[in-house]
Structure 1
Protein backbone atom coordinates (compact mmCIF):
# COMPACT_ATOMS: atom_id res chain seq x y z
CA UNK A 1 0.00 0.00 0.00
CA UNK A 2 1.41 3.38 -0.99
CA UNK A 3 0.82 5.96 1.72
CA UNK A 4 0.23 9.63 1.14
CA UNK A 5 3.49 11.61 0.97
CA UNK A 6 4.30 15.25 1.56
CA UNK A 7 6.06 15.23 -1.82
CA UNK A 8 8.65 17.76 -0.73
CA UNK A 9 11.67 15.45 -0.92
CA UNK A 10 12.40 11.76 -1.51
CA UNK A 11 13.88 9.18 0.83
CA UNK A 12 17.68 9.33 0.96
CA UNK A 13 19.83 7.11 3.20
CA UNK A 14 22.49 9.17 4.94
CA UNK A 15 25.41 6.72 4.43
CA UNK A 16 24.81 6.59 0.67
CA UNK A 17 25.09 10.31 -0.05
CA UNK A 18 27.94 12.24 -1.68
CA UNK A 19 30.50 13.67 0.72
CA UNK A 20 31.31 17.32 1.27
CA UNK A 21 32.90 19.45 4.00
CA UNK A 22 31.98 22.51 5.97
CA UNK A 23 34.37 25.48 5.65
CA UNK A 24 38.06 24.72 6.27
CA UNK A 25 37.44 20.99 6.04
CA UNK A 26 35.33 20.83 9.19
CA UNK A 27 32.80 18.00 9.56
CA UNK A 28 30.39 18.89 12.36
CA UNK A 29 28.46 22.17 12.21
CA UNK A 30 26.99 23.23 15.57
CA UNK A 31 24.51 26.07 16.06
CA UNK A 32 22.33 27.34 18.88
CA UNK A 33 18.74 28.30 18.07
CA UNK A 34 17.41 30.57 20.83
CA UNK A 35 13.64 31.12 20.78
CA UNK A 36 12.42 34.51 22.00
CA UNK A 37 8.64 34.39 22.19
CA UNK A 38 5.66 36.45 23.26
CA UNK A 39 1.98 35.76 23.96
CA UNK A 40 -1.06 37.90 23.40
CA UNK A 41 -2.39 38.28 26.93
CA UNK A 42 -5.44 36.10 27.33
CA UNK A 43 -4.83 34.26 24.05
CA UNK A 44 -1.80 32.10 24.80
CA UNK A 45 -1.24 28.52 23.69
CA UNK A 46 1.05 27.50 26.52
CA UNK A 47 1.71 24.18 28.21
CA UNK A 48 -1.00 22.74 30.43
CA UNK A 49 0.66 23.36 33.78
CA UNK A 50 -2.51 23.62 35.86
CA UNK A 51 -6.26 23.93 35.32
CA UNK A 52 -6.62 27.42 33.88
CA UNK A 53 -8.83 29.45 31.63
CA UNK A 54 -8.04 32.77 30.02
CA UNK A 55 -6.30 34.94 30.85
CA UNK A 56 -3.68 32.24 31.49
CA UNK A 57 -1.48 34.30 33.78
CA UNK A 58 0.69 31.30 34.66
CA UNK A 59 1.85 30.67 31.09
CA UNK A 60 1.98 34.31 30.09
CA UNK A 61 4.22 35.25 33.01
CA UNK A 62 6.40 32.14 32.60
CA UNK A 63 7.05 33.01 28.96
CA UNK A 64 7.76 36.64 29.79
CA UNK A 65 10.29 35.60 32.43
CA UNK A 66 12.45 34.52 29.52
CA UNK A 67 12.31 38.00 27.99
CA UNK A 68 12.76 39.91 31.24
CA UNK A 69 15.39 37.71 32.92
CA UNK A 70 16.38 34.46 31.24
CA UNK A 71 17.45 35.79 27.84
CA UNK A 72 19.68 38.40 29.48
CA UNK A 73 21.43 35.78 31.62
CA UNK A 74 21.89 33.67 28.49
CA UNK A 75 23.26 36.65 26.60
CA UNK A 76 25.98 36.96 29.23
CA UNK A 77 26.75 33.25 28.86
CA UNK A 78 26.99 33.47 25.06
CA UNK A 79 29.24 36.51 25.36
CA UNK A 80 31.58 34.79 27.80
CA UNK A 81 31.89 31.79 25.46
CA UNK A 82 32.08 33.87 22.24
CA UNK A 83 29.25 31.69 20.97
CA UNK A 84 27.12 32.88 18.01
CA UNK A 85 23.35 32.52 18.19
CA UNK A 86 20.52 32.10 15.70
CA UNK A 87 17.71 34.13 17.24
CA UNK A 88 14.19 32.87 16.47
CA UNK A 89 12.02 35.92 17.01
CA UNK A 90 8.29 36.50 17.38
CA UNK A 91 8.01 39.86 15.61
CA UNK A 92 5.69 41.23 18.32
CA UNK A 93 8.78 41.43 20.54
CA UNK A 94 9.88 44.53 18.62
CA UNK A 95 7.03 46.33 20.38
CA UNK A 96 7.17 44.42 23.66
CA UNK A 97 10.92 44.48 24.45
CA UNK A 98 12.95 45.93 21.55
CA UNK A 99 16.03 46.40 23.74
CA UNK A 100 16.32 42.61 24.12
CA UNK A 101 16.55 41.99 20.39
CA UNK A 102 18.91 44.97 20.05
CA UNK A 103 21.27 43.42 22.59
CA UNK A 104 21.61 40.28 20.47
CA UNK A 105 21.73 42.27 17.23
CA UNK A 106 24.61 44.34 18.58
CA UNK A 107 26.75 41.24 19.00
CA UNK A 108 26.09 40.24 15.40
CA UNK A 109 23.67 37.37 16.00
CA UNK A 110 21.47 36.10 13.17
CA UNK A 111 17.74 36.88 13.38
CA UNK A 112 15.16 34.48 11.90
CA UNK A 113 11.40 34.75 11.51
CA UNK A 114 9.33 32.91 14.12
CA UNK A 115 5.86 34.25 13.39
CA UNK A 116 4.13 37.21 15.00
CA UNK A 117 3.29 35.62 18.32
CA UNK A 118 3.27 32.22 20.00
CA UNK A 119 -0.42 32.75 20.61
CA UNK A 120 -1.14 31.45 17.09
CA UNK A 121 -0.27 28.48 14.90
CA UNK A 122 0.05 29.13 11.19
CA UNK A 123 -1.06 25.59 10.35
CA UNK A 124 -4.54 26.51 11.62
CA UNK A 125 -4.91 29.36 9.13
CA UNK A 126 -6.38 29.50 5.63
CA UNK A 127 -3.74 30.15 2.97
CA UNK A 128 -4.45 33.87 2.62
CA UNK A 129 -4.20 34.42 6.37
CA UNK A 130 -1.02 32.37 6.64
CA UNK A 131 0.46 34.38 3.79
CA UNK A 132 -0.44 37.54 5.72
CA UNK A 133 1.19 36.20 8.89
CA UNK A 134 4.44 35.51 7.02
CA UNK A 135 4.33 38.88 5.24
CA UNK A 136 3.73 40.84 8.44
CA UNK A 137 6.47 39.00 10.32
CA UNK A 138 8.92 39.52 7.48
CA UNK A 139 8.11 43.21 7.08
CA UNK A 140 8.47 43.87 10.80
CA UNK A 141 11.88 42.21 11.03
CA UNK A 142 13.07 43.92 7.85
CA UNK A 143 11.99 47.32 9.16
CA UNK A 144 13.99 46.88 12.36
CA UNK A 145 16.96 44.94 11.03
CA UNK A 146 17.42 46.68 7.69
CA UNK A 147 16.87 43.46 5.74
CA UNK A 148 14.39 40.59 5.73
CA UNK A 149 15.24 37.31 7.46
CA UNK A 150 16.36 34.37 5.33
CA UNK A 151 15.33 31.64 7.76
CA UNK A 152 12.04 30.64 9.39
CA UNK A 153 10.77 28.49 12.24
CA UNK A 154 7.01 28.35 12.60
CA UNK A 155 5.46 29.03 16.01
CA UNK A 156 4.93 25.62 17.59
CA UNK A 157 6.60 24.16 14.44
CA UNK A 158 3.16 24.28 12.89
CA UNK A 159 2.81 24.05 9.11
CA UNK A 160 -0.06 23.91 6.66
CA UNK A 161 0.13 21.98 3.39
CA UNK A 162 1.44 25.10 1.64
CA UNK A 163 3.83 26.56 4.24
CA UNK A 164 7.07 25.80 2.32
CA UNK A 165 5.47 27.26 -0.82
CA UNK A 166 4.50 30.47 0.95
CA UNK A 167 7.92 30.83 2.58
CA UNK A 168 9.71 30.37 -0.72
CA UNK A 169 7.42 32.88 -2.40
CA UNK A 170 8.12 35.34 0.42
CA UNK A 171 11.87 35.11 -0.28
CA UNK A 172 12.97 32.72 2.46
CA UNK A 173 15.93 30.47 1.68
CA UNK A 174 15.61 27.93 4.49
CA UNK A 175 13.30 26.69 7.21
CA UNK A 176 13.80 24.77 10.44
CA UNK A 177 10.42 23.08 10.83
CA UNK A 178 11.51 19.63 9.63
CA UNK A 179 13.54 17.43 12.00
CA UNK A 180 13.96 14.40 9.73
CA UNK A 181 17.70 14.52 9.02
CA UNK A 182 21.19 15.39 10.27
CA UNK A 183 22.05 17.09 6.98
CA UNK A 184 20.34 19.89 5.05
CA UNK A 185 17.89 18.75 2.36
CA UNK A 186 16.40 20.71 -0.53
CA UNK A 187 12.59 20.78 -0.54
CA UNK A 188 10.39 21.16 -3.61
CA UNK A 189 7.90 24.02 -3.67
CA UNK A 190 5.59 25.46 -6.31
CA UNK A 191 8.12 28.30 -6.58
CA UNK A 192 11.87 28.12 -5.94
CA UNK A 193 13.18 25.29 -3.71
CA UNK A 194 13.75 25.92 -0.03
CA UNK A 195 16.37 24.30 2.20
CA UNK A 196 15.27 22.23 5.19
CA UNK A 197 17.95 22.75 7.83
CA UNK A 198 18.21 20.26 10.73
CA UNK A 199 16.49 21.53 13.86
CA UNK A 200 16.33 19.21 16.87
CA UNK A 201 13.30 17.81 18.61
CA UNK A 202 15.45 15.86 21.07
CA UNK A 203 18.16 18.37 21.96
CA UNK A 204 15.36 20.84 22.51
CA UNK A 205 14.40 22.03 25.97
CA UNK A 206 10.62 22.05 25.42
CA UNK A 207 10.22 18.36 24.40
CA UNK A 208 13.00 17.25 26.73
CA UNK A 209 12.08 19.22 29.84
CA UNK A 210 8.47 20.38 29.55
CA UNK A 211 7.16 17.19 27.91
CA UNK A 212 9.48 14.31 28.87
CA UNK A 213 10.36 15.85 32.23
CA UNK A 214 14.14 15.64 31.90
CA UNK A 215 16.00 17.38 34.71
CA UNK A 216 18.45 20.23 34.20
CA UNK A 217 21.46 17.99 34.71
CA UNK A 218 20.05 15.35 32.37
CA UNK A 219 19.37 17.87 29.60
CA UNK A 220 22.91 19.21 29.83
CA UNK A 221 24.25 15.66 29.65
CA UNK A 222 22.10 15.08 26.56
CA UNK A 223 23.76 18.05 24.85
CA UNK A 224 27.24 16.83 25.78
CA UNK A 225 26.59 13.22 24.75
CA UNK A 226 24.98 14.30 21.48
CA UNK A 227 27.94 16.54 20.66
CA UNK A 228 30.53 13.87 21.46
CA UNK A 229 28.69 11.18 19.49
CA UNK A 230 27.97 13.37 16.47
CA UNK A 231 31.59 14.46 16.39
CA UNK A 232 32.57 10.84 15.99
CA UNK A 233 29.84 10.18 13.41
CA UNK A 234 30.89 13.25 11.42
CA UNK A 235 34.18 11.59 10.53
CA UNK A 236 32.16 9.63 7.97
CA UNK A 237 30.03 12.49 6.60
CA UNK A 238 29.31 16.15 7.39
CA UNK A 239 26.56 16.65 9.98
CA UNK A 240 24.59 19.46 11.61
CA UNK A 241 23.88 19.60 15.34
CA UNK A 242 21.33 22.13 16.46
CA UNK A 243 20.66 23.04 20.08
CA UNK A 244 17.13 24.42 20.52
CA UNK A 245 16.67 26.61 23.58
CA UNK A 246 13.91 28.74 25.08
CA UNK A 247 14.86 31.53 27.44
CA UNK A 248 11.95 30.97 29.82
CA UNK A 249 13.04 27.34 30.34
CA UNK A 250 16.83 27.10 30.35
CA UNK A 251 17.15 30.72 31.46
CA UNK A 252 15.95 29.59 34.88
CA UNK A 253 18.95 29.79 37.25
CA UNK A 254 19.17 26.10 38.16
CA UNK A 255 18.98 25.07 34.50
CA UNK A 256 21.30 27.81 33.31
CA UNK A 257 24.04 26.45 35.55
CA UNK A 258 23.92 23.09 33.78
CA UNK A 259 23.49 24.63 30.33
CA UNK A 260 26.70 26.56 30.99
CA UNK A 261 28.47 23.29 31.73
CA UNK A 262 27.26 21.78 28.46
CA UNK A 263 28.19 24.76 26.29
CA UNK A 264 31.58 25.08 27.98
CA UNK A 265 32.21 21.44 27.05
CA UNK A 266 31.48 22.19 23.39
CA UNK A 267 33.68 25.27 23.30
CA UNK A 268 36.52 23.46 25.05
CA UNK A 269 36.38 20.65 22.47
CA UNK A 270 36.01 22.54 19.20
CA UNK A 271 39.20 21.40 17.51
CA UNK A 272 39.66 21.77 13.76
CA UNK A 273 36.76 19.44 12.91
CA UNK A 274 33.92 21.45 14.51
CA UNK A 275 32.32 24.58 13.04
CA UNK A 276 30.54 26.67 15.70
CA UNK A 277 28.25 28.80 13.57
CA UNK A 278 24.70 29.94 12.80
CA UNK A 279 21.86 28.35 10.88
CA UNK A 280 22.16 31.02 8.21
CA UNK A 281 25.86 30.39 7.65
CA UNK A 282 25.16 26.68 7.23
CA UNK A 283 22.46 27.42 4.66
CA UNK A 284 24.75 29.85 2.86
CA UNK A 285 27.47 27.20 2.56
CA UNK A 286 25.04 24.58 1.23
CA UNK A 287 23.70 26.98 -1.38
CA UNK A 288 27.19 27.25 -2.87
CA UNK A 289 27.78 23.50 -3.14
CA UNK A 290 27.70 21.89 -6.61
CA UNK A 291 24.32 20.55 -7.63
CA UNK A 292 23.87 16.83 -7.02
CA UNK A 293 25.70 16.88 -3.67
CA UNK A 294 22.88 17.75 -1.28
CA UNK A 295 19.70 15.63 -1.34
CA UNK A 296 17.06 17.26 -3.50
CA UNK A 297 19.49 19.06 -5.81
CA UNK A 298 19.84 17.93 -9.42
CA UNK A 299 23.09 16.63 -10.88
CA UNK A 300 24.11 18.58 -13.96
CA UNK A 301 22.37 21.81 -12.91
CA UNK A 302 24.20 25.00 -12.09
CA UNK A 303 26.11 24.95 -8.78
CA UNK A 304 23.88 25.67 -5.84
CA UNK A 305 20.69 25.08 -7.81
CA UNK A 306 17.86 22.86 -6.70
CA UNK A 307 14.59 21.71 -8.21
CA UNK A 308 11.56 23.94 -8.54
CA UNK A 309 9.38 21.06 -9.69
CA UNK A 310 5.98 20.36 -8.25
CA UNK A 311 5.60 17.94 -5.32
CA UNK A 312 5.79 14.35 -6.46
CA UNK A 313 8.59 14.74 -8.97
CA UNK A 314 11.43 12.29 -8.37
CA UNK A 315 14.73 13.79 -7.15
CA UNK A 316 17.86 12.52 -5.46
Structure 2
Protein backbone atom coordinates (compact mmCIF):
# COMPACT_ATOMS: atom_id res chain seq x y z
CA UNK A 1 0.00 0.00 0.00
CA UNK A 2 1.37 3.41 -0.97
CA UNK A 3 1.79 6.21 1.54
CA UNK A 4 -1.07 8.03 -0.17
CA UNK A 5 -3.35 5.03 0.37
CA UNK A 6 -2.16 4.45 3.92
CA UNK A 7 -2.87 8.05 4.89
CA UNK A 8 -6.18 8.36 3.03
CA UNK A 9 -9.42 8.73 4.92
CA UNK A 10 -11.49 5.56 5.27
CA UNK A 11 -15.15 5.67 4.21
CA UNK A 12 -16.43 6.08 7.78
CA UNK A 13 -14.13 9.10 8.13
CA UNK A 14 -15.60 10.76 5.05
CA UNK A 15 -19.19 11.01 6.23
CA UNK A 16 -20.99 10.97 9.56
CA UNK A 17 -23.40 8.19 10.45
CA UNK A 18 -26.96 9.32 9.79
CA UNK A 19 -30.13 7.32 10.46
CA UNK A 20 -32.68 8.08 7.78
CA UNK A 21 -35.45 8.42 10.40
CA UNK A 22 -33.58 11.34 12.02
CA UNK A 23 -33.37 13.56 8.92
CA UNK A 24 -35.65 16.37 7.83
CA UNK A 25 -37.64 15.20 4.80
CA UNK A 26 -36.24 15.87 1.35
CA UNK A 27 -38.78 17.44 -0.99
CA UNK A 28 -39.11 16.78 -4.72
CA UNK A 29 -40.66 19.31 -7.10
CA UNK A 30 -44.27 19.01 -8.18
CA UNK A 31 -45.27 16.75 -5.33
CA UNK A 32 -43.19 13.83 -6.62
CA UNK A 33 -42.17 11.20 -4.07
CA UNK A 34 -39.70 8.84 -5.74
CA UNK A 35 -36.83 9.42 -8.15
CA UNK A 36 -36.03 6.54 -10.50
CA UNK A 37 -32.38 6.51 -11.61
CA UNK A 38 -31.87 4.08 -14.53
CA UNK A 39 -28.26 3.10 -15.24
CA UNK A 40 -27.11 1.17 -18.32
CA UNK A 41 -23.59 -0.24 -18.01
CA UNK A 42 -21.49 -0.36 -21.20
CA UNK A 43 -18.20 -2.20 -20.78
CA UNK A 44 -14.98 -2.99 -22.65
CA UNK A 45 -13.82 -6.60 -22.18
CA UNK A 46 -10.26 -7.45 -23.24
CA UNK A 47 -10.09 -10.88 -24.89
CA UNK A 48 -6.44 -11.15 -23.79
CA UNK A 49 -7.47 -11.17 -20.10
CA UNK A 50 -9.76 -13.41 -18.03
CA UNK A 51 -13.34 -12.27 -18.55
CA UNK A 52 -14.95 -10.09 -15.86
CA UNK A 53 -17.98 -12.40 -15.72
CA UNK A 54 -19.01 -15.77 -17.05
CA UNK A 55 -22.22 -17.23 -18.41
CA UNK A 56 -20.40 -20.35 -19.58
CA UNK A 57 -18.23 -21.96 -16.85
CA UNK A 58 -14.85 -23.11 -18.20
CA UNK A 59 -14.07 -26.83 -18.43
CA UNK A 60 -12.13 -27.94 -15.38
CA UNK A 61 -12.95 -24.74 -13.51
CA UNK A 62 -9.87 -22.89 -14.80
CA UNK A 63 -10.50 -19.56 -16.54
CA UNK A 64 -9.00 -19.83 -20.04
CA UNK A 65 -7.33 -17.06 -22.02
CA UNK A 66 -8.69 -16.40 -24.54
CA UNK A 67 -12.18 -17.07 -23.18
CA UNK A 68 -14.04 -16.96 -26.48
CA UNK A 69 -17.50 -18.14 -25.28
CA UNK A 70 -17.82 -15.50 -22.58
CA UNK A 71 -16.25 -12.74 -24.65
CA UNK A 72 -18.76 -13.35 -27.44
CA UNK A 73 -21.61 -13.50 -24.88
CA UNK A 74 -20.69 -9.96 -23.84
CA UNK A 75 -20.25 -8.90 -27.47
CA UNK A 76 -23.85 -9.96 -28.11
CA UNK A 77 -24.88 -7.15 -25.81
CA UNK A 78 -23.10 -4.60 -27.99
CA UNK A 79 -24.44 -5.96 -31.26
CA UNK A 80 -28.01 -6.83 -30.23
CA UNK A 81 -28.94 -6.32 -26.58
CA UNK A 82 -28.06 -2.63 -26.38
CA UNK A 83 -30.38 -1.78 -29.26
CA UNK A 84 -33.30 -3.47 -27.53
CA UNK A 85 -32.67 -1.42 -24.38
CA UNK A 86 -32.31 1.76 -26.43
CA UNK A 87 -35.63 1.12 -28.14
CA UNK A 88 -37.38 0.45 -24.83
CA UNK A 89 -36.12 3.67 -23.25
CA UNK A 90 -37.17 5.65 -26.33
CA UNK A 91 -40.69 4.23 -26.23
CA UNK A 92 -41.13 5.39 -22.64
CA UNK A 93 -39.33 8.70 -23.24
CA UNK A 94 -36.67 7.95 -20.62
CA UNK A 95 -33.07 9.17 -20.87
CA UNK A 96 -30.98 6.97 -18.55
CA UNK A 97 -27.44 7.34 -17.33
CA UNK A 98 -24.88 5.34 -19.28
CA UNK A 99 -22.01 4.10 -17.14
CA UNK A 100 -19.36 3.59 -19.81
CA UNK A 101 -15.82 2.32 -20.08
CA UNK A 102 -14.22 5.07 -22.15
CA UNK A 103 -12.45 2.66 -24.49
CA UNK A 104 -15.84 1.72 -25.97
CA UNK A 105 -15.83 5.16 -27.61
CA UNK A 106 -12.73 4.05 -29.51
CA UNK A 107 -13.62 0.43 -30.30
CA UNK A 108 -17.41 0.55 -30.84
CA UNK A 109 -18.34 4.23 -31.28
CA UNK A 110 -21.69 3.31 -32.84
CA UNK A 111 -23.02 2.35 -29.39
CA UNK A 112 -22.14 5.51 -27.43
CA UNK A 113 -23.07 7.69 -30.41
CA UNK A 114 -26.59 6.25 -30.35
CA UNK A 115 -26.80 6.95 -26.62
CA UNK A 116 -25.50 10.48 -27.10
CA UNK A 117 -28.02 11.13 -29.87
CA UNK A 118 -30.80 9.88 -27.58
CA UNK A 119 -29.85 12.31 -24.82
CA UNK A 120 -28.36 9.83 -22.37
CA UNK A 121 -26.06 11.03 -19.60
CA UNK A 122 -22.47 9.73 -19.72
CA UNK A 123 -21.04 8.60 -16.37
CA UNK A 124 -17.31 7.77 -16.34
CA UNK A 125 -16.73 4.07 -15.61
CA UNK A 126 -12.93 3.70 -15.98
CA UNK A 127 -11.17 3.10 -19.28
CA UNK A 128 -11.69 -0.68 -19.34
CA UNK A 129 -13.59 -3.14 -17.15
CA UNK A 130 -10.82 -3.74 -14.62
CA UNK A 131 -11.16 -3.34 -10.82
CA UNK A 132 -9.55 -0.10 -9.73
CA UNK A 133 -7.45 -1.92 -7.13
CA UNK A 134 -5.59 -3.67 -9.97
CA UNK A 135 -4.67 -0.46 -11.79
CA UNK A 136 -1.12 0.74 -11.14
CA UNK A 137 -1.67 4.46 -11.77
CA UNK A 138 -5.24 5.25 -10.84
CA UNK A 139 -4.97 8.99 -11.44
CA UNK A 140 -3.58 8.53 -14.95
CA UNK A 141 -6.33 6.03 -15.80
CA UNK A 142 -9.02 8.39 -14.55
CA UNK A 143 -7.55 11.29 -16.51
CA UNK A 144 -7.44 9.13 -19.65
CA UNK A 145 -11.05 8.09 -19.09
CA UNK A 146 -12.25 11.66 -18.71
CA UNK A 147 -10.24 12.90 -21.68
CA UNK A 148 -11.66 10.24 -24.02
CA UNK A 149 -15.24 10.85 -22.90
CA UNK A 150 -14.83 14.62 -23.13
CA UNK A 151 -13.57 14.39 -26.70
CA UNK A 152 -16.40 12.06 -27.67
CA UNK A 153 -19.30 13.91 -26.05
CA UNK A 154 -18.03 17.48 -26.00
CA UNK A 155 -18.68 17.64 -22.25
CA UNK A 156 -16.53 16.56 -19.33
CA UNK A 157 -18.33 13.93 -17.21
CA UNK A 158 -19.38 15.06 -13.76
CA UNK A 159 -20.12 11.61 -12.32
CA UNK A 160 -18.08 8.46 -11.67
CA UNK A 161 -18.74 4.76 -11.06
CA UNK A 162 -15.95 2.23 -10.61
CA UNK A 163 -16.15 -1.20 -12.27
CA UNK A 164 -18.11 -3.33 -9.83
CA UNK A 165 -18.28 -0.16 -7.67
CA UNK A 166 -14.60 -0.72 -6.87
CA UNK A 167 -12.51 1.95 -5.17
CA UNK A 168 -9.27 2.38 -3.32
CA UNK A 169 -9.13 4.56 -0.22
CA UNK A 170 -8.01 7.57 -2.30
CA UNK A 171 -10.61 7.25 -5.08
CA UNK A 172 -13.03 9.84 -3.65
CA UNK A 173 -10.19 12.36 -3.40
CA UNK A 174 -9.24 11.75 -7.03
CA UNK A 175 -12.84 12.04 -8.21
CA UNK A 176 -13.10 15.50 -6.67
CA UNK A 177 -9.56 16.54 -7.65
CA UNK A 178 -10.34 15.78 -11.30
CA UNK A 179 -13.37 18.04 -11.29
CA UNK A 180 -16.27 15.65 -10.83
CA UNK A 181 -19.19 16.34 -8.51
CA UNK A 182 -20.69 12.98 -7.64
CA UNK A 183 -20.19 9.22 -7.69
CA UNK A 184 -22.31 6.08 -7.38
CA UNK A 185 -20.01 3.55 -5.71
CA UNK A 186 -21.42 3.72 -2.18
CA UNK A 187 -24.69 1.81 -1.93
CA UNK A 188 -25.31 2.79 1.69
CA UNK A 189 -28.54 4.80 1.58
CA UNK A 190 -31.84 5.52 -0.15
CA UNK A 191 -30.98 9.23 -0.30
CA UNK A 192 -27.93 11.15 -1.53
CA UNK A 193 -25.23 11.93 1.00
CA UNK A 194 -22.37 14.40 1.20
CA UNK A 195 -18.89 12.83 1.26
CA UNK A 196 -15.79 14.71 2.40
CA UNK A 197 -12.58 14.64 0.36
CA UNK A 198 -9.19 16.37 0.58
CA UNK A 199 -10.41 18.74 -2.14
CA UNK A 200 -13.93 19.53 -1.00
CA UNK A 201 -17.28 17.82 -0.82
CA UNK A 202 -18.73 15.20 -3.18
CA UNK A 203 -22.27 13.88 -3.46
CA UNK A 204 -22.84 10.14 -3.16
CA UNK A 205 -25.78 9.36 -5.44
CA UNK A 206 -27.34 6.09 -4.22
CA UNK A 207 -26.77 3.35 -6.78
CA UNK A 208 -27.59 -0.31 -6.13
CA UNK A 209 -26.36 -3.85 -5.78
CA UNK A 210 -29.76 -5.45 -5.19
CA UNK A 211 -31.60 -4.05 -8.26
CA UNK A 212 -28.87 -5.01 -10.68
CA UNK A 213 -29.17 -7.71 -13.31
CA UNK A 214 -25.71 -9.08 -12.49
CA UNK A 215 -26.66 -9.98 -8.95
CA UNK A 216 -30.14 -11.17 -9.85
CA UNK A 217 -29.45 -13.08 -13.05
CA UNK A 218 -25.79 -14.13 -12.85
CA UNK A 219 -25.11 -14.50 -9.14
CA UNK A 220 -28.50 -15.71 -7.92
CA UNK A 221 -29.55 -17.36 -11.23
CA UNK A 222 -33.12 -16.13 -10.93
CA UNK A 223 -35.89 -16.51 -13.50
CA UNK A 224 -36.13 -14.04 -16.38
CA UNK A 225 -38.87 -12.01 -14.66
CA UNK A 226 -37.11 -11.78 -11.29
CA UNK A 227 -35.80 -8.25 -11.75
CA UNK A 228 -39.26 -7.01 -12.69
CA UNK A 229 -40.75 -8.55 -9.55
CA UNK A 230 -37.96 -7.33 -7.28
CA UNK A 231 -38.22 -3.81 -8.68
CA UNK A 232 -41.96 -3.75 -8.05
CA UNK A 233 -41.43 -4.85 -4.46
CA UNK A 234 -38.66 -2.32 -3.92
CA UNK A 235 -40.71 0.49 -5.41
CA UNK A 236 -43.75 -0.31 -3.26
CA UNK A 237 -41.66 -0.07 -0.09
CA UNK A 238 -39.77 3.05 -1.16
CA UNK A 239 -43.04 4.73 -2.11
CA UNK A 240 -44.41 3.98 1.34
CA UNK A 241 -41.22 5.31 2.95
CA UNK A 242 -41.40 8.45 0.81
CA UNK A 243 -44.25 9.72 2.96
CA UNK A 244 -41.38 10.81 5.23
CA UNK A 245 -39.20 12.30 2.50
CA UNK A 246 -38.13 11.60 -1.06
CA UNK A 247 -36.43 8.32 -1.92
CA UNK A 248 -34.20 7.20 -4.80
CA UNK A 249 -34.80 3.94 -6.66
CA UNK A 250 -31.80 3.08 -8.81
CA UNK A 251 -31.49 0.07 -11.07
CA UNK A 252 -28.57 -1.17 -13.12
CA UNK A 253 -28.71 -3.22 -16.30
CA UNK A 254 -26.24 -4.60 -18.83
CA UNK A 255 -27.07 -5.15 -22.52
CA UNK A 256 -25.75 -8.72 -22.56
CA UNK A 257 -28.07 -9.63 -19.66
CA UNK A 258 -31.27 -7.58 -19.70
CA UNK A 259 -31.07 -7.15 -23.47
CA UNK A 260 -31.26 -10.91 -24.05
CA UNK A 261 -34.25 -12.14 -26.03
CA UNK A 262 -35.80 -14.02 -23.08
CA UNK A 263 -35.49 -11.06 -20.66
CA UNK A 264 -36.25 -7.93 -22.68
CA UNK A 265 -40.04 -8.22 -22.37
CA UNK A 266 -39.74 -8.12 -18.58
CA UNK A 267 -37.45 -5.12 -18.77
CA UNK A 268 -40.05 -3.35 -20.90
CA UNK A 269 -42.74 -4.26 -18.37
CA UNK A 270 -40.53 -2.84 -15.62
CA UNK A 271 -40.29 0.50 -17.43
CA UNK A 272 -44.04 0.51 -17.99
CA UNK A 273 -44.67 -0.11 -14.29
CA UNK A 274 -42.26 2.59 -13.10
CA UNK A 275 -43.41 5.21 -15.60
CA UNK A 276 -47.10 4.79 -14.85
CA UNK A 277 -47.33 7.27 -11.96
CA UNK A 278 -47.51 11.07 -11.87
CA UNK A 279 -45.56 11.31 -8.59
CA UNK A 280 -42.47 9.50 -9.92
CA UNK A 281 -39.69 11.27 -11.84
CA UNK A 282 -36.92 9.73 -13.95
CA UNK A 283 -33.68 11.62 -13.36
CA UNK A 284 -30.06 11.11 -14.25
CA UNK A 285 -27.20 11.32 -11.77
CA UNK A 286 -26.48 15.01 -12.32
CA UNK A 287 -30.12 15.95 -11.83
CA UNK A 288 -30.14 14.08 -8.51
CA UNK A 289 -26.90 15.75 -7.45
CA UNK A 290 -28.10 19.25 -8.38
CA UNK A 291 -31.43 18.75 -6.60
CA UNK A 292 -29.75 17.47 -3.44
CA UNK A 293 -27.28 20.33 -3.34
CA UNK A 294 -30.14 22.81 -3.81
CA UNK A 295 -31.97 21.18 -0.90
CA UNK A 296 -28.81 21.67 1.16
CA UNK A 297 -28.85 25.40 0.40
CA UNK A 298 -32.32 25.59 1.95
CA UNK A 299 -31.14 23.68 5.01
CA UNK A 300 -33.08 20.49 4.35
CA UNK A 301 -30.66 17.53 4.14
CA UNK A 302 -28.04 16.39 6.60
CA UNK A 303 -25.03 14.13 6.13
Give the TM-score, by structure 1 length.
0.88
Are 2:301 and 1:284 aligned?
no
Alpha-carbon distance between aligned partners in 2 of 1:13 and 1:102, rounded to the nearest angstrom = 41
Is contact 2:11-2:169 (8 Å) kept? Answer: no
C-alpha RMSD over aligned residues: 1.4
- Aligned partner of 1:101 in structure 2 is 112
Are 2:166 and 1:158 aligned?
yes
Matches within 5 A, 1:1-316: 6-48=12-54, 49-51=56-58, 52-118=63-129, 120-126=130-136, 129-268=137-276, 270-271=277-278, 273-291=279-297, 292-296=299-303
- Aligned partner of 1:311 in structure 2 is none
Gaps of 5+ in 1: 297-316
Alpha-carbon distance between aligned partners in 2 of 1:102 and 1:75, rounded to the nearest angstrom = 12
> 1:47 deviation in Å?
2.2
- Any idea what the Cα deviations from partners look like across 1:133-172, whole Å, max 9, x if unmatched? 1100000000111111011110121100100000000011
Is contact 2:77-2:259 (8 Å) kept? Answer: yes
> 1:81 deviation in Å?
0.9
> 1:58 deviation in Å?
2.0
Alpha-carbon distance between aligned partners in 1 of 2:117 and 2:50, rounded to the nearest angstrom = 30
Is contact 1:90-1:114 (8 Å) kept? Answer: yes
Give 3-state SS (helix, strand or coil) of 1:12's partner: coil
> 1:69 deviation in Å?
0.7
Is contact 1:66-1:246 (8 Å) kept? Answer: yes
Give 3-state SS (helix, strand or coil) of 1:195's partner: strand
- Aligned partner of 2:4 in structure 1 is none
Alpha-carbon distance between aligned partners in 2 of 1:45 and 1:187, rounded to the nearest angstrom = 32
- Aligned partner of 2:6 in structure 1 is none
Is contact 1:204-1:243 (8 Å) kept? Answer: yes
Is contact 1:183-1:238 (8 Å) kept? Answer: yes
> 1:21 deviation in Å?
1.0
> 1:289 deviation in Å?
2.1
In the TM superposition, structure 1's runs of 4+ consecutive aligned residues that sit over 4 Å from their partners are none
Structure 1, 30-39 or 4-13: larger mean CA deviation = 4-13
Is contact 1:44-1:60 (8 Å) kept? Answer: no
Give the TM-score, by structure 2 length.
0.91
Gaps of 5+ in 2: 1-9
Is contact 1:36-1:89 (8 Å) kept? Answer: yes
More helix by share: 2
